[in-house]
Amino acid sequence: MNTSEILEKLPYTTPFLFVDNLVSIDENGAKGTFTFKEDLDFYKGHFKNNPITPGVILIETMAQIGLVCLGIFLVGDDLNEENQIGLTSTDIEFVKPVFPGEKVTVISEKIYFRFNKLKCKVKMLNENTEIVCEGTIAGIIKVK
């Protein structure tokens, strides 16, 4: 399965799609990018006169690129619209803020994939290749 096929299988659409490009993917991990456009709705209220990207959105971006894209790759053609990938746990440390207009890169490394549970070490880098946040994310892939 190539990167464009994986992106087509993502169960998200705008405004909740946080993957612009899937740079690389294999059985051990994924790497992708997303640019936080300045007109995204959540910037209007987070925070007044000093917008930054909410941590929950950073986690979602890490999960979409680092966990869901990798899960789709690992499951392959067994994944269809009836199947789901659900988040089960996160342990993320935040180091730097992400401001409107910033492009981030997410890199994941598979820790394990067994019994349809995928756990990954994930980090997000800003355009200066500084760590924005990092930690672990896990999810269950429900395949019928």
* 69-97 pLDDT tens trace: 999 999 886 666 666 788 999 999 999 99
CA atoms within 13 A on the CB side of 124: 33
**DSSP-derived pairing of the beta strands 117-125 and 84-94:** unpaired
Instruction: Tell me the CATH number at 46.
Output: 3.10.129.10
How would you class 13 by CB atoms within 10 Å of its CB: exposed for 0-12, middle for 13-18, buried for 19 or more? exposed
**Are the beta carbons of 132 and 125 closer than 8 angstroms?**
yes
Question: Of the listed 23, 46, 109, 134, which one is catalytic?
Answer: 46
Q: CA–CA separation, 88 vs 86, rounded Å?
A: 6
How does residue 142 score in pLDDT terms, banded at 50, 70 and 90? confident
The pLDDT score that the predictor gives to residue 26 is 97
Question: Does the active-site annotation cover 46?
Answer: yes
Residue with tokens 């994941």: 108
Q: CA–CA separation, 87 vs 68, rounded Å?
A: 9
Total domains in the fold of the chain: 1
* 93-126 pLDDT tens trace: 999 999 999 999 999 999 999 999 999 999 999 9
Domain coverage including residue 8: 3-142
Q: What is the value of pTM for the model shown?
A: 0.95
